[in-house]
Amino acid sequence: MPSKHIEVKTFKLAHSTDDTVRIEHIEKPYGEYSSPVVSIAIFSHGKTKVSEVEIPYENIGEFFKALNESVALCDSIPRSKIHDELNSDIGGGA
């Protein structure tokens, strides 16, 4: 039996115009007796796959933990707020 892809969610990739992220559950990804994985793929212009990672469900907890650590690290780095240099909440200045 070939692998079966079940789409979980697709959403727009931030800071892009047409790129999307697609999350899929994949049954039997490497053959009849292989364990399911979750696929996270980036599509350019919503059509062309440009990158993909497949993570076994046994590693999902560790993966979530690493993502949360990454978010905490990002949040801990001081940055100027967007458009601060313009003294405005949106582009175009005050």
pLDDT in tens, 39-83: 999 999 979 999 999 999 999 999 999 999 999 999 999 987 766
Bigger pLDDT: 87 or 12?
Answer: 12
| Domain layout of the chain by residue ranges | 4-78
CB 27: neighbour CB atoms within 10 A? 14
Bigger pLDDT: 83 or 27?
Answer: 27
HSE-up of 2 (CA within 13 Å, CB side)?
3
Looking at residue 94, what DSSP letter applies? -
Looking at residue 57, what DSSP letter applies? G
User: What class is the 4-78 domain?
Assistant: alpha beta
Nearest C-alpha neighbor of 40 from the set 29, 49, 30, 48:
49
Written as one letter, the residue type at 46 is G
Is the model's pLDDT at 5 over the cut of 70? Answer: yes
